[in-house]
Amino acid sequence: MGFSSHMKHLMKKEFRQIKLMIRFKDFRLGLMSDITPVLPKSTIFSHHGMNVVIGRDVKLGKNVKIYHNVTIGNRRGIGKDKARDIIIGNNVTIYTGATILGNVKIGDNAVIAAHSLVLSDVPPNMVAMGAPAHVIAKDEKPQK
């Protein structure tokens, strides 16, 4: 192997390492989607928005707090889910690992518990928990 071919090989290897570093950096920042929804400036991401996926049909209210590993998106082509956007109200908290799918409206001041699967509307000032999620009042204790 000549000097020039050896240099080409090293440059290719170096380029691959740089590409991997960039991909790793993007992954760490949670920038894994080409779909960019419009997010209000008051949206708060816990843990830098790590692994948060927000579809383009999502409309977020003010002061929404989203923890890591949250997915919010539409279920295209399933039932009546073709027409409406997902609407998240003001002052909503969505905890770690929650998934919100379909034509769902989350009311103001609602809380989505960790690892919940929300497939239907959540009224204002309520808590959604479980998979699939059921709604309880904020001061109500969950049934055992």
Q: Which residues participate in catalysis according to the annotation?
A: 68
Q: pTM of the entire structure? A: 0.70
Is 11:5 a contact under the CB 8 Å cutoff?
no
Is 110:92 a contact under the CB 8 Å cutoff?
yes
Enter the DSSP assignment of 85. P
Question: Are β-strands 99-101 and 71-73 bridged in parallel, bridged antiparallel, or unpaired?
Answer: parallel
Per-residue model confidence as pLDDT tens for the chain (144 residues): 566 666 566 555 555 544 444 444 444 444 444 455 667 888 878 776 678 888 877 888 999 999 988 998 877 655 554 556 789 999 999 999 999 998 899 999 999 999 999 999 999 999 999 999 999 887 666 666
102-136 as b/e: b if 16+ CB within 10 A: bbbbbbebbbbbeebbbbebbeeebbbbeeebebb
φ and ψ at residue 46, rounded to 5 degrees = -80, 145
